[in-house]
Structure 1
């Protein structure tokens, strides 16, 4: 994650959904992510 990235930006970039990214990464609130955070990409 870089400053300014959102889960919806990343989901669109990799052809997946915010829900799938949040579930795969244990993110309960997709609005609270941090720059520098590493996330798994799932499709």
Structure 2
């Protein structure tokens, strides 16, 4: 099973996409923690 998409795409583009996905997950996690803290404090 070969993935032609990853072969055509440059390595730095692939790394950048992974970084953006990681950054999005971190942002959502931080937002969720802040919401939980706010609910707990109120």
TM-score after normalising by structure 2: 0.29
Q: Which has the higher helix share?
A: 2
Higher relative contact order (CA 8 A, sep 6+): 1
